């Protein structure tokens, strides 16, 4: 059977193959990851449509693929590919631009002739053209001459400048060709032995995303302790019932609920900011991103429509996506569309921290490990959980940040027993 | 003390300095031009190119009169009125001095006669007859030129030992004269004195005259020089000079043997030294090389980028037209244009009999640098015009890039070579090929035809010469 690229998700036209996890002749199980793709949103695995043996694999690392692109064949599966055969494969390379041969007669049209790449050490041209070229910084050795014996004429110079100008009008090409500034590291071996490891494409993606978020968004982190003494008691009381239903009540589950309710009251936290148009896009849906620690690195799967789901459903889905993240079997669909993100490091025993916003979202809630601290009267102890709200200060003012943090705290502290025990 | 402020100040009023001042003024700059002389024009006009050419022209007439016997015209031996010749030469200089001074006024260039010293990076002090003046500037151009070198061992304070400056004064015509140095100045001035009647001896440290020129171009000049001069001594080193009554005793070594001779006058023409001392270069540490020439980059900027140096004081070939070209490059750079002197094609011209001129690459240079070339040489024996001038010893030579036939150099020897070489400069600086010269119609009968014919000869279709290498055999 044919193996094709499944639907990559809305708004994603193509993806780049970044790694091949199987090779021809390998026996695979259904849903085993065959290749990994990188889209502009995330790294996504392509699962095997069935169990069987890979008879061919027709893509290689670096190829561009789209929905329905044939990537290989599977023997022994029997079932047909889940994707419709009608999906047309796309070209993996841009169509060649037609090259217009340089003509000795000056073209009077607006079209720009694409010059032949040349390098000619022995340049022949008039002294005035040499002077002009030097003045504007053109290296005549790279300009093809159409005059007698390859002489560079004034028209050649004009055509070449027009061609250079036309390159500037292709922003995508120009941007892509702009080399990133290189940071040259010292030779660390001067001071001792080192180990150099190649990083995964996922690591590169994480690095780029973090840099973008850090550089474009002015972060403020508001910290606030939440009293979870009561909540933890309720958790202890009802967790066995949840476990019977194959779910586990965790603080993250409570956090999803608390945050979603706070978001309803503060819609600007469930938004994105378009700096170019100077617009705030407020989303009427609540899709929660959950930061998951995997051995390959940070992955943020998404639980959709959390406002419409019960604690039980959320608990089940949370466990499911966390497992998928660890197995690298999440679909691209499951990695997209979050409107807010929660990062719970409480399980690692740490306190407050400063989470980085999962752009283009505008806020993220970090959760630390609870500690017993004296209450207001100083006589009793309460279990206080540090929450850390990082928000985008471009569109959220400090007072609103404080109000939202207070609202989240309030939601945590007022989660009702009736809601928790409602397991249907 | 009041300080005058200028955009551009030019030190030195020679062909580099006044060209720079005028160009800057024409471009809207407030310009000050300073020279130690009251008259503008520098060495070139006052004691160099112009007076020497005036004298050379006069002696050429004598030479022509002498040789006219061949075609049936005989003249009696010319009488030389030195006073009149000197006055005529001076009148030419005066006319040109006045011309430059007039332009200076028209272009609103402030001229100050005095000695300029760089005091600070943007300040000059000028010592004038009326006292000190201070001038502040945005940009400065140093164009102080050079002066004849006079090694200390020859500097006896005796007026009989001259440099080119004194020789051009033409005080008298000595019976015997020694010229130390067979370069272009020695050869030109030696010829003048020889034509006027002196018995001239040339002594040269190298193995031949006119270092830098190709041997095939030198040959006709050597032939004439051997007739005109009493003696030419090569590979010889002058060790000592001493005053002996009304003569100078000269000791020299040739082939390891010490010799001694007496001369009425001696002309020292062993090169020129840059005028880079006593102008305040040290005050702001402007860099000079070991010979004293100011170090400049491709834009003629010194190590202070707002201060430029052009012409002789900046080294390279010491020629007026090179200074003028550098003047325009420096001013353009001041105007903010991106310019370079890198591709300058500077013609070298020597007014010997016959004249020699060359530009671009020479054959000698190509060999030294290992550049692959092809040459095409057209002998003037095949030129109708050369024959009608009674001068068939000339030669026109093209130096072409191998395989492409792009013109890299041109060399000419023969009467009028100094005028003809302009076509070579045009061809080289504009990247022309041998075919371009061959395709361009040249008037007949002229000497300029030899340029076209040398190109045609390369391809084998010259009407007046034969190149067996490229002749195609008839198949009939």
Nearest to B343 among A130, A136, A137 (CB): A130
Record: contact A135-B339, CB cut-off 8 A: yes
The pLDDT value recorded for residue A85 is 40
- The CATH fold assigned to B3-148+273-334 is FAD/NAD(P)-binding domain (3.50.50)
d(CA B173, CA A214): 90
Chain B hits for A136, CB-CB cut-off 8 Å, are 338
The pLDDT value recorded for residue B476 is 57
Question: Closest Cα of chain B to A154: distance in Å?
Answer: 13
The pLDDT value recorded for residue A10 is 62
Record: contact A125-B340, CB cut-off 8 A: no
Q: Centre a 10 Å sphere on the Cβ of residue A306 and count the other Cβ atoms it contains.
A: 24
List the single residue in B with minimal CA-CA distance to A123: B431
Instruction: Supply the DSSP string of A103-136, one letter for each residue.
Output: -SSPP-SS----PPP---SS--B-HHHHHHHHHH
d(CA A368, CA B434): 84
The pLDDT value recorded for residue A180 is 56
d(CA A320, CA A247): 10
pLDDT > 60? residue A89:
no
The pLDDT value recorded for residue A100 is 43
pLDDT > 90? residue A162:
no
More confident residue, B318 or A72: B318
The pLDDT value recorded for residue A172 is 52
Domain ranges within chain B, ordered by starting residue: 3-148+273-334, 152-270, 354-459
- The CATH fold assigned to A209-421 is Chloramphenicol Acetyltransferase (3.30.559)
Record: contact B338-A131, CB cut-off 8 A: no
On whether the CB atoms of residues A221 and A388 are closer than 8 A, the answer is yes
Record: contact A124-B431, CB cut-off 8 A: yes
**Looking at residues A202-222, what average pLDDT do you find?**
89
Is the minimum CB–CB distance between B459 and chain A shorter than 8 Å? no
Q: What is the mean pLDDT of chain A?
A: 83
Q: How far is CA A153 from the centre of its chain?
A: 50
List the single residue in A with minimal CA-CA distance to B407: A124
Chain B hits for A148, CB-CB cut-off 8 Å, are 433, 435-436
Instruction: Supply the DSSP string of B180-204, one letter for each residue.
Output: E--SHHHHHHHHHHHHHT-EEEEE-
d(CA B237, CA B347): 30
Q: What percent of chain A has pLDDT over 70?
A: 85
Q: Number of residue pairs across A and B with CB atoms under 8 Å?
A: 34
Token pair in block for residue B79: 């009488």
Chain A hits for B338, CB-CB cut-off 8 Å, are 134-137
Chain B hits for A131, CB-CB cut-off 8 Å, are 339
Chain B hits for A139, CB-CB cut-off 8 Å, are none
pLDDT > 70? residue A45:
yes
Nearest to B404 among A122, A135, A136 (CB): A122
ipTM, 2 dp: 0.75
A160 is catalytic: no
Record: contact B435-A149, CB cut-off 8 A: yes
Domain ranges within chain A, ordered by starting residue: 2-75, 127-174, 209-421
Is the minimum CB–CB distance between B435 and chain A shorter than 8 Å? yes
**Looking at residues A257-284, what average pLDDT do you find?**
94
Nearest to A125 among B337, B431, B436 (CB): B431
The pLDDT value recorded for residue A421 is 83
pLDDT tens-digit readout, A219-248:
999 999 999 999 999 999 998 888 888 888
Report DSSP state, residue A235: H
pLDDT > 50? residue A33:
yes
Record: contact A127-B430, CB cut-off 8 A: yes
Residue B467 burial (C-beta neighbours within 10 Å; 0-12, 13-18, 19+): middle
Which residues fall within 8 angstroms of residue B135, CB to CB, at 6 or more apart?
B3, B4, B5, B6, B9, B32, B34, B112, B116, B123, B124, B125, B126
Domain B152-270 has CATH 3.50.50.60: yes
Question: Closest Cα of chain B to A104: distance in Å?
Answer: 18
Nearest to A134 among B340, B431, B432 (CB): B340
Residue B60 burial (C-beta neighbours within 10 Å; 0-12, 13-18, 19+): middle
Chain A hits for B432, CB-CB cut-off 8 Å, are 124
pTM of the predicted model as reported, rounded to 2 decimal places: 0.62
d(CA B230, CA B224): 12
The pLDDT value recorded for residue A108 is 40
The pLDDT value recorded for residue B2 is 79
pLDDT > 70? residue A369:
yes
pLDDT tens-digit readout, A388-420:
999 999 999 999 999 999 999 999 999 888 888
CATH of A2-75, one of 1.10.540.10, 3.40.50.2300, 2.40.50.100, 1.25.40.10: 2.40.50.100
pLDDT > 70? residue A264:
yes
Residue A117 burial (C-beta neighbours within 10 Å; 0-12, 13-18, 19+): exposed
pLDDT > 90? residue A50:
no
Residues of chain B with pLDDT under 50: none
CA triple A374-A377-A379, angle to 5 deg: 55
pLDDT band at A38 (very low <50, low <70, confident <90, very high): confident
- The CATH fold assigned to A127-174 is Dihydrolipoamide Transferase (4.10.320)
Dihedral (CA of B463, B464, B470, B474) sign = positive
Nearest to B430 among A122, A126, A148 (CB): A126
Record: contact A136-B338, CB cut-off 8 A: yes
More confident residue, A200 or A400: A400
Residue A124 burial (C-beta neighbours within 10 Å; 0-12, 13-18, 19+): buried
The pLDDT value recorded for residue A26 is 86
Report DSSP state, residue A182: P
The set of catalytic residues of B is 444
Asked if domains B152-270 and B354-459 share a fold, the reply is no
The pLDDT value recorded for residue A208 is 87
Give me the CATH code for the B354-459 domain, please.
3.30.390.30
């Amino acid at each position: 059977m044919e193996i094709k690229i499944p639907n990559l998700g809305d708004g994603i036209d193509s993806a780049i193959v970044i790694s091949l996890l199987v090779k021809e002749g390998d026996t695979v199980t259904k849903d085993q990851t065959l290749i990994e793709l990188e889209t502009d949103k995330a790294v996504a695995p392509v699962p095997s449509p069935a169990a069987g043996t890979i008879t061919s694999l027709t893509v290689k690392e670096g190829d561009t693929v789209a929905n329905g692109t044939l990537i290989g064949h599977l023997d022994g599966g029997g079932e047909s590919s889940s994707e419709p055969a009608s999906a047309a494969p796309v070209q993996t390379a841009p169509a060649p631009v037609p090259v217009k041969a340089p003509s000795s007669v000056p073209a009077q049209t607006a079209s720009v002739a694409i010059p032949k790449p040349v390098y000619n050490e022995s340049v022949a041209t008039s002294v005035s053209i040499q002077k002009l070229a030097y003045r504007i910084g053109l290296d005549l050795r790279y300009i093809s001459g159409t005059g007698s014996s390859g002489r560079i004429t004034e028209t050649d110079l004009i055509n070449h400048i027009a061609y250079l100008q036309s390159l500037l009008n292709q922003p995508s090409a120009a941007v892509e060709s702009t080399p990133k500034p290189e940071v040259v590291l010292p030779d660390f071996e001067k001071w001792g032995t080192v180990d150099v490891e190649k990083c995964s494409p996922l690591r590169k993606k994480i690095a780029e995303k973090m840099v973008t978020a850090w550089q474009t968004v002015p972060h403020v982190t508001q910290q606030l302790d939440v009293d979870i003494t009561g909540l933890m008691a309720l958790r202890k009381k009802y967790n066995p019932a949840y476990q019977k239903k194959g779910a586990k009540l965790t603080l993250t589950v409570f956090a999803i609920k608390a945050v979603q309710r706070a978001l309803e009251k503060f819609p600007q936290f469930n938004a994105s900011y378009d700096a170019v148009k100077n617009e705030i896009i407020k989303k009427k849906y609540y899709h929660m991103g959950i930061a998951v620690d995997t051995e390959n690195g940070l992955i943020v799967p998404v639980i959709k429509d959390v406002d419409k789901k019960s604690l039980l459903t959320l608990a089940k889905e949370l466990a499911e996506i966390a497992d998928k993240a660890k197995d690298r079997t999440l679909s691209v669909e499951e990695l997209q569309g979050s409107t807010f993100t929660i990062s719970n490091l409480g399980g690692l025993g740490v306190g407050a921290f400063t989470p980085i916003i999962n752009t283009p979202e505008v806020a993220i809630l970090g959760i630390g490990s609870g500690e017993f601290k004296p209450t207001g009267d100083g006589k009793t102890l309460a279990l206080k959980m540090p929450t850390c709200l990082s928000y985008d200060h471009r569109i959220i003012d400090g007072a609103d940040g404080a109000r939202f943090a207070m609202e989240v705290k309030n939601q945590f502290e007022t989660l009702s027993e009736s809601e928790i025990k409602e397991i249907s | 003390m009041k300080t005058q402020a200028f955009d551009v100040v030019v030190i030195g009023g020679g062909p580099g300095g006044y060209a720079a001042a005028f160009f800057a003024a024409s471009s809207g700059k407030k310009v000050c031009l300073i020279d130690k002389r009251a008259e503008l024009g520098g060495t070139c006009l006052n004691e160099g190119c112009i007076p020497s050419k005036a004298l050379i022209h006069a002696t050429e007439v004598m030479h022509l009169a002498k040789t006219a016997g061949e075609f049936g015209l005989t003249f009696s031996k010319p009488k030389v009125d030195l006073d009149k010749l000197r006055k005529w030469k001076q009148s030419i200089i005066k006319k040109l001095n006045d011309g430059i001074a007039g332009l200076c006024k028209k272009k609103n260039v402030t001229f100050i006669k005095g000695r300029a010293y760089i005091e600070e990076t943007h300040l000059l002090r000028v010592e004038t007859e009326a006292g000190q003046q201070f001038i502040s500037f945005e940009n400065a151009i140093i164009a102080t030129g050079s002066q004849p070198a006079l090694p200390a061992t020859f500097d006896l304070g005796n007026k009989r030992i001259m440099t080119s400056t004194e020789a051009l004064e033409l005080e008298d015509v000595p019976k015997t004269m020694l010229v130390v140095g067979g370069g272009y100045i020695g050869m030109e001035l030696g010829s003048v004195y020889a034509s006027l009647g002196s018995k001239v001896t040339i002594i040269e440290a190298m193995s031949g005259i006119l270092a830098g020129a190709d041997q095939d171009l030198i040959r006709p000049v050597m032939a004439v020089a051997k007739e005109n001069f009493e003696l030419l001594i090569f590979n010889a080193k002058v060790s000592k000079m001493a005053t002996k009554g009304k003569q100078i005793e000269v000791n020299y070594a040739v082939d390891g043997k010490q010799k001694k001779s007496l001369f009425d006058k001696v002309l020292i023409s062993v090169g020129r030294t840059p005028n880079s001392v006593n102008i305040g270069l040290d005050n702001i540490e402007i860099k000079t090389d070991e010979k004293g020439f100011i170090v400049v980059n491709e834009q003629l900027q010194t190590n202070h980028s707002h201060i430029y140096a052009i012409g002789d004081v900046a080294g390279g070939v010491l020629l007026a037209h090179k200074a003028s070209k550098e003047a325009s490059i420096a001013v353009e750079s001041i105007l903010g244009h991106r310019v370079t002197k890198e591709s300058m094609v500077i013609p070298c011209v020597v007014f010997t009999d016959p004249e020699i001129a060359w530009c671009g690459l020479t054959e000698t240079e190509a060999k030294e640098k290992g550049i692959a070339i092809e040459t095409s040489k057209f002998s003037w024996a095949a030129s109708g015009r050369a024959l009608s001038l009674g001068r068939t010893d000339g030669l026109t030579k093209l130096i072409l890039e191998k395989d492409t036939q792009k013109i890299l150099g041109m060399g000419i020897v023969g009467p009028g070579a100094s005028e003809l070489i302009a076509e070579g400069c045009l061809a080289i600086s504009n990247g022309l090929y041998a075919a371009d010269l061959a395709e361009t119609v040249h008037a007949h009968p002229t000497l300029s035809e030899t340029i076209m014919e040398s190109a045609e000869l390369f391809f084998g279709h010259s009407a007046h010469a034969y190149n067996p290498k490229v002749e195609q055999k008839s198949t009939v």
